[in-house]
């Protein structure tokens, strides 16, 4: 049983759109992961540097265009919380990336099968 030419073109176009869309989303997810991993690394470096300071060292945080003195424990807690949030985000992005890669792979397989079959569904 053969589908009409218009239906085949529509199916082929839908597969192509899905492939392109998944490729774009994969690139975006990878870029977001890279950005978040860099932020995690920066937080870890900051935390390590804070660990080398003596306990009586004054610590300041930027607030707009000025700096305000804050307790070290507050800064440490903020760094830990931000790192945990970023790691959670990276984990979510990894799951999303796996899903997108699976969608892309399946779409490519369907497209290749469609082309090899000569447009017969």
Contact (Cβ atoms closer than 8 angstroms) between residue 103 and residue 14? no
Lookup: tokens for 70? 């804050």
Total count of residues recorded for the chain: 121
What CATH number should be reported for the domain whose range is 7-119? 1.10.287.370
In the chain, domain spans: 7-119
Query: Which pLDDT belongs to residue 9?
Result: 83
Q: What is the DSSP letter of 63?
A: E
With a cut of 80, say whether residue 13 has pLDDT above it: yes
Cα(89)–Cα(86) distance, integer angstroms: 5
With a cut of 70, say whether residue 121 has pLDDT above it: no
Q: How many helices (H) and strands (E) does the chain have?
A: 2, 2
Reported as a single tens digit per residue, the pLDDT across 59-99 is 999 999 999 999 998 999 999 999 999 999 999 999 999 99
Q: How does residue 115 score in pLDDT terms, banded at 50, 70 and 90?
A: confident
Single pTM value for the model: 0.78
With a cut of 90, say whether residue 29 has pLDDT above it: yes
Cα(80)–Cα(26) distance, integer angstroms: 29
Q: What is the DSSP letter of 60?
A: E
Reported as a single tens digit per residue, the pLDDT across 101-110 is 999 999 899 8
């Amino acid at each position: 049983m053969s589908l009409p030419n218009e239906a085949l073109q529509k199916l082929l176009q839908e597969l192509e759109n899905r492939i392109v869309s998944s490729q774009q989303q994969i690139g975006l997810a990878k870029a977001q992961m890279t950005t978040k991993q860099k932020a995690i690394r920066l937080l870890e470096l900051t935390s390590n540097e804070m660990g080398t300071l003596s306990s009586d060292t004054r610590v300041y945080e930027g607030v707009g265009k000025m700096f305000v003195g804050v307790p070290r424990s507050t800064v440490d807690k903020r760094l830990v919380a931000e790192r945990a949030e970023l790691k959670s985000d990276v984990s979510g992005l990894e799951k999303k990336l796996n899903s997108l890669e699976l969608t892309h792979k399946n779409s490519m397989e369907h497209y290749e099968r469609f082309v090899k079959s000569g447009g017969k569904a």
